[in-house]
């Protein structure tokens, strides 16, 4: 019995210990895999960040890495770096760029001994944190290390994160090394396709990398297991050379420990894990030996006593003890599985739905912590659409209707997101009376559902593609001698099968064209045997219609070589066959056309390595162009090839071999000798088509380009001359690409202008070099090239290397060079010319200022008298515009010009001489005016030009006429005054005699009446004499004190009575000083002036205005104001101004000057007091008189009186 107990206990303990060991090893392996998966996700995030748009700056990368919090989130990580991929041609630009960032000594250093990669290099460009250790890695080319290169190229080609093999980190190269690895995440440029390997290589920007020191990293993982477990970690295989980590080198892990395979990114690690001595202290030492010893002693001592009591009690105790041990081992195993399970697990109270226990994975799936879930029930996290079904399932479990339930449903994530999961529920055993519980296992199936949705979409797309592309697919599985066929809907439509029609291989042969069945059967058997192609074409008959189909099959065999599965795709190629038939007809027509080509011939020939070519077809043009008959060349191909220049034949054969190898089009210019001995040039163009028998079919055309070749030679000579002119031109010339503005060629003059060398500028754009001083001119330049294909000539401002500005005139034109648009620009430095032009402009400005402001007319004309230039005064004086004068000759303008006589004088005139002439110029309105002309020669060189200064003598002539009129008027005035004075004296004597006669004739009424009449007539004669005195300026006036402000309104009312009802008299009086004068004589003046105003407005209604104000001189017009001053203004600080104005048409300027002349009038004679008499009265009052046309029309007459007491 003791032995039996010992065996049972020993078995239970071993089972328990084995379970604990396995649980410990599983948890540790899972922890390593999880840490590595976290690093993989970090690399994927960094790869996405580095692939977007332009490469981030160093500071941006530093900020990104700092946000990751590497020491806390990823213990053991040495750093986070970006390794840039540099194609070999881009290496110089890369070096310049990094050196400009503040690393003047930067260079790409070898990172190993494997040698550089031909395609390009790599460099550790960014590495954070940039501490002293990590600085050793900056600039290293990781591709020169074999281990790193393998991982980098694998990551590039697969697009996945890859872990390298064991290596020594660059950071440990100078110290004590420890095993390390590097994780590489490929960085592809965002937006570029990365479906195939070639696309991923083209889109590569570099790698995001994480270097790991394995000792530091694994210790961080083992922190919670280290007292209980010993670990040895290997790369791929268990060997000393591949060891990555050993937790205790002095105590190697036993070789009997079970190896664990760890799936890490892009690699497999093998781990050996066994419990440490601390593990046994933690779980307890085996106790089965104690049971054995104790049992033997007790058996010997109480054997006799217990021999009769071997019953149920002892067995029950023993079984209870054994059961307890088993339960303990089972509980430990379940708890380890529960905590470390990759699925979410929870123990739930079935009645309330409250969570009694949950594992960490369950919280990870739903976004809650374990504590938060324990405070919830499953109803709160279940999607509302699934809640009722979930409650029903729990009731079924509790009732025992269903022992286990599996379903797919949605949960609610903490963020509100819907989580699809697979739920498995099982009822847990419970003690009688205790609440029902059940175990829920939740698997996150979002990724699986995404794949399934993608698969359904792919199947739908495939079905749609089959429908659109007119093809179908089939599959047959061979098992146990049976065939299981499945066909797509597209194939049923193509073959005309019914939806329910069973499909076999024979049904396929039944619809084949009878003539094709045997050939298809043979092709099927050959493809299945691997001795023939797996593709063929044949005809089918569907509903009486013949169709062509293309078939491609794939056979799969099991390990025994038996056919296991066959699948295929069938496509309707009826349209293609119709097209090919049309193509054959077209080829026939092409051959007919080829025979008609005037300067070309078509050919077809087959070639095999080591054999002479064999012509299949030659058009008739070969006889016309080469002198050979097509039939002769077909019989003997050497006839045609013998005409090729022997020096060119090897190159021709080599180029043809390359074209045949690459299946690329062939093109070459050849020189051939005609049978008549003349050399001709031909352009041979053909395309190779490989044939099933290994030969190559060449189809091509040979065109006679002799004339074009000769023209090209002439062009090359022209280009050589252009190159000479380009280099020797004193003006700057540039040639650049239109697409990016890169300079292709510049001449020395351009380099001299900008101060840059040719080596500095070639391949760089002017935007980068910066010779444009004004950015808006550069934009206008490129816009003009794009829109119109040309620019200029335009003046632009150029800046040289020293910052000095140059004014240049530039012209550009777009050219097509080798199929790409370029632009050629020519410039001319205008700095010296601009300075000369500036001086010339200053001189011209001075000359033009003199000409424009001259008060005399100025003309420039040639020897034929054609007017070439005139100033504004010439236009003003003649009334012609400049355009009209430029079409005239001097003879057209000068009425007294003699063409022959003046031309002779002009021709004999020398520089420095002056010729003065008198003439009469005509105006545009037909009038003329006298002029004085002074001529001088501008330039003695041909064509001779003469400068004429023309003075208008109209004023001088008018002055003479005015002087004559004045003298005449003065004579008349003096004569009238003398006569009036004499008559007045006589009239006064006669008046005295008449008064005496009246006294003596008082008694004779008749005589007295006659004397009264005589007195009246005499008094009229006396009044007439006074008027003559007024006319002569010797008017008789009294000097009384007059208040014009009080007198004018009253007298205006009297004047209004004499005016017609249509004429309104307006009066405006301001306070004024008194004057000294004769009221009656001033009334005569106002009557005369108002009468003139009334006549000016007739026959239309109008008004006359009387205005009285004091003029203090600030706004008083002087003698230079518009109009005339018949009497000068009084020389006083202020005058009393009496103004009379009307609304008539005013007085023309020509008449205004004569309006005050004696006997001048615009009306019929004998009407009222004339202005000469008004002038006489005003002159006697020492008043001034100003007459002018008003701004709004009408005539204004202002009388300025001295104030009283002055």
Looking at per-residue pLDDT, the higher value among 80 and 277 belongs to 80
Residue 1029: name the closest of 989, 968, 978 by CA. Answer: 978
> What H or E segment, with its residue span, contains residue 90?
none
The phi and psi torsions of 1141 (rounded to 5 degrees) equal -140, 160
pLDDT tens for 877-925 read: 889 988 888 888 888 888 877 766 666 677 777 877 888 888 888 888 8
Q: What is the dihedral of CA 1008, 1012, 1018, 1022, to 10 degrees?
A: 130
- Residue 778 contacts residue 794 (beta carbons within 8 Å): no
Two structure tokens written together for 342: 């990759």
State the DSSP string of 923-986. PTTS-EEEEEEEEEEEESSSSPEEEEEEEE-HHHHHHHHHHHHHHHHHHHHHHHHHHHHHHHHH
**Three-class SS state of 867:** strand
Helices (H), 1033-1159: 1044-1058, 1079-1097, 1149-1152
Q: Is the pLDDT of residue 863 over 90?
A: no
pLDDT tens for 768-823 read: 777 888 888 888 888 888 888 888 788 888 888 888 888 888 888 888 887 788 88
Those residues whose C-beta lies under 8 Å from the C-beta of residue 1040, and which sit 6 or more positions away, are 1076, 1077, 1078, 1079
Q: Tell me whether residue 185 is exposed, middle or buried, using C-beta atoms within 10 angstroms of its C-beta: 0 to 12, 13 to 18, 19 or more.
A: buried
What strands lie across the sheet with 437-444, from one edge to the other? 355-358, 344-349, 437-444, 418-428, 404-412
Two structure tokens written together for 326: 């088993």
Q: Is the pLDDT of residue 319 over 50?
A: no
Predicted pLDDT at 764: 84
Q: Which fold has domain 26-218?
A: Beta-Lactamase (3.30.450)
Sign of the Cα pseudo-torsion (1052, 1055, 1060, 1061, in order)? positive
pLDDT tens for 1068-1127 read: 888 888 888 888 888 888 888 888 877 776 666 667 887 877 777 654 544 445 788 888
The span from the CA of 1138 to the CA of 1152, in Å, is 20
CATH architecture of 464-572: 2-Layer Sandwich (3.30)
pLDDT tens for 574-625 read: 888 877 777 777 677 767 766 767 788 888 888 887 788 888 888 888 888 8
pLDDT tens for 542-581 read: 888 888 999 999 888 877 778 888 888 898 888 888 777 7
Residue 479: name the closest of 585, 566, 600 by CA. Answer: 566
- Residue 259 contacts residue 22 (beta carbons within 8 Å): no
Angle between helices 214-221 and 2-51 (to 10 degrees): 120
pLDDT tens for 825-849 read: 888 877 777 777 777 777 777 777 7
pLDDT tens for 9-21 read: 555 555 555 655 6
Q: Which residues pair with 824 in a beta bridge?
A: 735, 813
Per CATH, the homologous superfamily of domain 854-952 is PAS domain (3.30.450.20)
Alpha carbon 800 to chain centroid distance?
A: 29
pLDDT tens for 1055-1078 read: 877 777 767 788 888 888 888 888
Q: What is the band of 1168 on the pLDDT scale with cuts at 50, 70, 90? A: very low
Report the 10 Å Cβ neighbour count for 108: 21
The span from the CA of 260 to the CA of 231, in Å, is 11
Q: Tell me whether residue 881 is exposed, middle or buried, using C-beta atoms within 10 angstroms of its C-beta: 0 to 12, 13 to 18, 19 or more.
A: exposed
Predicted pLDDT at 313: 46
**Three-class SS state of 1027:** helix
Predicted pLDDT at 198: 92
Those residues whose C-beta lies under 8 Å from the C-beta of residue 411, and which sit 6 or more positions away, are 365, 366, 381, 382, 383, 418, 419, 421, 442
- Terminal-residue alpha carbon distance, the chain: 168
The span from the CA of 851 to the CA of 874, in Å, is 10
State the DSSP code for 702.
E
Share of the chain above pLDDT 90, in %: 9
Mean pLDDT of 104-123: 89
Predicted pLDDT at 317: 47
Looking at per-residue pLDDT, the higher value among 455 and 171 belongs to 171
Those residues whose C-beta lies under 8 Å from the C-beta of residue 18, and which sit 6 or more positions away, are none
Mean pLDDT of 422-445: 82
Those residues whose C-beta lies under 8 Å from the C-beta of residue 60, and which sit 6 or more positions away, are none
The span from the CA of 1110 to the CA of 1198, in Å, is 12
What is each CA distance from 851 to 844, 856, 878, 884, 1068, in whole angstroms? 10, 9, 16, 19, 48
Q: Domain 1035-1201 class?
A: alpha beta
Looking at per-residue pLDDT, the higher value among 961 and 292 belongs to 961
Looking at per-residue pLDDT, the higher value among 253 and 1071 belongs to 1071
Mean pLDDT of 975-991: 66
Looking at per-residue pLDDT, the higher value among 1165 and 1170 belongs to 1170
- Mean per-residue pLDDT of the chain: 79
> What H or E segment, with its residue span, contains residue 810?
strand 805-817
Q: What is the band of 6 on the pLDDT scale with cuts at 50, 70, 90? A: low
Two structure tokens written together for 521: 């059967």
The phi and psi torsions of 321 (rounded to 5 degrees) equal -65, -45
Q: Is the pLDDT of residue 727 over 80?
A: no
The span from the CA of 426 to the CA of 1034, in Å, is 148
Q: What is the band of 368 on the pLDDT scale with cuts at 50, 70, 90? A: very high
The span from the CA of 287 to the CA of 156, in Å, is 57
Per CATH, the homologous superfamily of domain 341-444 is PAS domain (3.30.450.20)
Predicted pLDDT at 747: 84
Predicted pLDDT at 208: 95
Q: Is the pLDDT of residue 465 over 70?
A: no
Q: Which fold has domain 740-826?
A: Beta-Lactamase (3.30.450)
The span from the CA of 664 to the CA of 766, in Å, is 38
pLDDT tens for 35-57 read: 888 888 888 888 888 988 888 88
Q: What is the CATH number of domain 592-710?
A: 3.30.450.20
Same fold, 854-952 and 1035-1201: no
Q: Is the pLDDT of residue 946 over 80?
A: yes
State the DSSP code for 129.
S
Predicted pLDDT at 304: 44
Question: Picking from 163-172, 457-466, 1044-1053, which range would have the lowest pLDDT averaged per residue?
Answer: 457-466
- pTM, two decimals, is 0.32
Q: Is the pLDDT of residue 749 over 50?
A: yes
The span from the CA of 362 to the CA of 344, in Å, is 4
Two structure tokens written together for 912: 């420095």
Share of the chain above pLDDT 70, in %: 80
Predicted pLDDT at 1119: 45
The span from the CA of 381 to the CA of 416, in Å, is 10
Predicted pLDDT at 868: 85
Predicted pLDDT at 1029: 60
Structural domain boundaries in the chain: 26-218, 286-328, 341-444, 464-572, 592-710, 740-826, 854-952, 959-1019, 1035-1201
Predicted pLDDT at 117: 87
The span from the CA of 234 to the CA of 245, in Å, is 7
pLDDT tens for 201-218 read: 999 999 999 998 888 887
């Amino acid at each position: 019995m003791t032995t039996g107990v010992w065996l049972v206990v020993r078995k239970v303990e071993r089972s328990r210990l084995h379970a604990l060991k396995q649980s410990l090893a599983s948890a540790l392996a899972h922890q390593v895999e999880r840490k590595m998966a976290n690093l993989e996700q970090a690399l994927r995030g960094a790869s996405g960040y580095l692939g977007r748009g332009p490469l981030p700056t160093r500071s941006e990368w530093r900020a990104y890495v700092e946000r990751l919090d590497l020491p806390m989130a990823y213990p053991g990580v040495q750093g986070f770096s970006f390794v840039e991929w540099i194609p070999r041609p881009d290496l110089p630009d890369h070096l310049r760029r990094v050196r400009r960032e503040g690393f003047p000594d930067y260079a790409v250093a070898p990172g190993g001994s494997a040698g550089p990669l031909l395609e390009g290099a790599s460099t550790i460009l960014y590495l954070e944190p940039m501490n002293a250790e990590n600085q050793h890695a900056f600039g290293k080319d990781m591709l020169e290390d074999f281990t790193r290169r393998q991982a980098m190229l694998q990551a590039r080609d697969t697009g996945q994160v890859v872990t390298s093999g064991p290596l020594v980190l660059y950071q440990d190269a100078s110290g004590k090394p420890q095993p390390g690895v590097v994780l590489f995440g490929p960085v592809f440029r965002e937006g570029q396709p990365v479906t195939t390997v070639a696309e991923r290589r083209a889109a590569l920007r570099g790698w995001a990398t994480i270097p790991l020191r394995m000792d530091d990293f694994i210790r961080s993982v083992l922190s919670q297991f280290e007292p209980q477990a010993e670990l040895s970690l290997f790369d791929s295989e268990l060997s000393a050379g591949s060891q990555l980590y050993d937790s205790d080198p002095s105590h190697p892990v036993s070789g009997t420990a079970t190896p664990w395979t760890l799936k890490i990114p892009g690699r497999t690690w093998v781990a050996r894990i066994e419990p440490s001595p601390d593990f046994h202290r933690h779980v307890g030492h085996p106790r089965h030996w104690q049971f054995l010893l104790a049992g033997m002693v007790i058996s010997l001592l109480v054997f006799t006593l217990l021999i009769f009591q071997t019953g149920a009690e002892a067995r029950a105790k023993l079984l209870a003890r054994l059961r307890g041990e088993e339960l303990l081992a089972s509980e430990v195993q379940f708890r380890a599985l529960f905590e470390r399970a990759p699925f979410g697990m929870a123990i739930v109270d079935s009645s309330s739905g409250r969570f009694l226990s949950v594992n960490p994975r369950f919280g990870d799936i739903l976004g809650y912590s374990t504590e938060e879930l324990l405070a919830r029930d499953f109803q709160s996290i279940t999607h509302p659409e699934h809640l009722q079904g979930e409650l029903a399932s729990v009731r079924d479990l509790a009732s025992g209707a269903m022992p286990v339930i599996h379903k797919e449903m949605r949960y609610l994530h903490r963020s509100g997101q819907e989580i699809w999961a697979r739920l498995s529920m099982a009822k847990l055993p419970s003690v009688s009376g205790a609440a029902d519980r059940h175990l829920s296992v939740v698997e996150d199936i979002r990724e699986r559902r995404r794949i399934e949705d993608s698969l359904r979409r792919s199947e739908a797309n495939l079905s749609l593609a089959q429908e659109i592309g007119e093809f179908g697919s089939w599959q047959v599985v061979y098992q146990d001698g049976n065939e299981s066929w499945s066909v797509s809907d597209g194939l049923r439509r193509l073959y005309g099968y019914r939806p329910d029609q069973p499909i076999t291989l024979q049904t396929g042969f039944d619809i084949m064209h009878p003539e094709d069945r045997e050939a298809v059967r043979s092709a099927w058997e050959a493809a299945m045997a691997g001795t023939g192609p797996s593709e063929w074409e044949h005809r089918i008959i569907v509903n009486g219609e013949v169709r062509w189909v293309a078939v491609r099959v794939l056979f799969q065999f099991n390990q025994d070589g038996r056919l296991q599965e066959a699948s295929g795709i069938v496509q309707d190629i009826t349209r293609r066959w119709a097209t090919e038939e049309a193509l054959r007809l077209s080829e026939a027509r092409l051959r007919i056309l080829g025979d008609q080509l005037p300067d070309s011939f078509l050919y077809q020939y087959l070639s095999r390595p080591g054999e002479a070519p064999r012509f299949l077809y030659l058009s008739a043009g070969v006889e016309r162009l080469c002198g050979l008959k097509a039939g002769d060349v077909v019989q003997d191909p050497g006839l045609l090839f013998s005409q090729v220049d022997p020096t060119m034949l090897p190159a021709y054969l080599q180029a043809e071999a390359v074209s045949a190898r690459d299946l690329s089009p062939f093109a070459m210019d050849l020189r051939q000798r005609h049978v008549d001995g003349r050399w001709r040039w031909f352009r041979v163009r053909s395309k190779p088509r490989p044939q099933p028998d290994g030969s190559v079919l060449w189809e091509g055309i040979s065109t006679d380009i002799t004339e074009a070749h000769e023209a090209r030679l002439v062009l090359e000579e022209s280009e050589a001359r252009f190159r000479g002119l380009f280099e020797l031109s004193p003006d700057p010339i540039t040639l650049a690409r239109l697409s990016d503005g890169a300079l292709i060629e510049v001449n020395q003059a351009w380099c001299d202008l900008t101060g840059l060398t040719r080596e500095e500028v070639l391949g760089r754009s002017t935007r980068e070099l910066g010779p444009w001083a004004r950015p808006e001119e550069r934009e206008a330049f490129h816009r003009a090239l794009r829109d119109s294909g040309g620019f200029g000539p335009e003046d632009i401002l150029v800046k040289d290397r020293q910052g000095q500005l140059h004014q240049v005139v530039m012209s550009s034109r777009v050219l097509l060079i080798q199929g790409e648009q370029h632009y050629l620009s020519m410039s001319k430095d205008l700095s010296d010319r601009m300075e000369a032009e500036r001086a010339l402009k200053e001189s011209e400005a001075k000359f033009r200022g003199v000409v424009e402001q001259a008060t005399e007319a100025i003309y420039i004309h040639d020897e034929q008298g054609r007017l070439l230039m005139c100033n504004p005064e010439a236009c003003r004086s003649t009334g012609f515009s400049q355009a009209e004068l430029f079409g005239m000759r001097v003879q057209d303008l000068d009425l007294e010009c003699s063409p022959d006589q003046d031309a002779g004088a002009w021709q004999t005139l020398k520089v420095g001489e002056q010729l003065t002439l008198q003439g009469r110029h005509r105006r545009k309105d037909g009038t003329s005016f006298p002029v004085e002309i002074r001529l001088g020669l501008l330039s003695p060189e041909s064509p001779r030009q003469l400068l004429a200064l023309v003075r208008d003598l109209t004023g001088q002539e008018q002055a003479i006429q005015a002087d004559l009129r004045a003298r005449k008027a003065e004579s008349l005035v003096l004569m009238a005054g003398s006569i009036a004075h004499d008559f007045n004296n006589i009239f006064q004597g006669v008046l005295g005699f008449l008064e005496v006669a009246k006294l003596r004739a008082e008694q004779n009424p008749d005589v007295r009446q006659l004397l009264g009449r005589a007195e009246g007539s005499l008094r009229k004669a006396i009044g007439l004499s006074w008027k003559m005195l007024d006319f002569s300026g010797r008017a008789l006036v009294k000097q009384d004190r007059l208040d014009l402000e009080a007198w004018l309104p009253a007298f205006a009312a009297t004047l209004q009575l004499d005016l017609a009802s249509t004429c309104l008299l307006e009066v405006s009086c301001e306070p004024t000083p008194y004057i000294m004068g004769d009221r009656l004589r001033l009334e005569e003046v106002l009557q005369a002036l108002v009468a003139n105003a009334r006549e000016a407005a007739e026959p239309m209604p109008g008004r006359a205005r009387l205005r009285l104000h004091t003029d203090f001189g600030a706004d008083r017009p002087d003698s230079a104001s518009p109009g005339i001053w018949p009497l000068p203004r009084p020389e006083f600080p202020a005058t009393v101004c009496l103004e009379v104005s009307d609304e008539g048409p005013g007085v023309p300027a020509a008449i205004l000057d004569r309006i005050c002349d004696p006997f001048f009038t615009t009306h019929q004679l004998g009407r009222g007091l004339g202005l000469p008499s008004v002038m006489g009265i005003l002159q006697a009052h020492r008043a001034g008189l100003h007459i002018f046309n008003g701004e709004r029309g009408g005539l204004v007459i202002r009388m300025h009186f001295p104030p009283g007491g002055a």
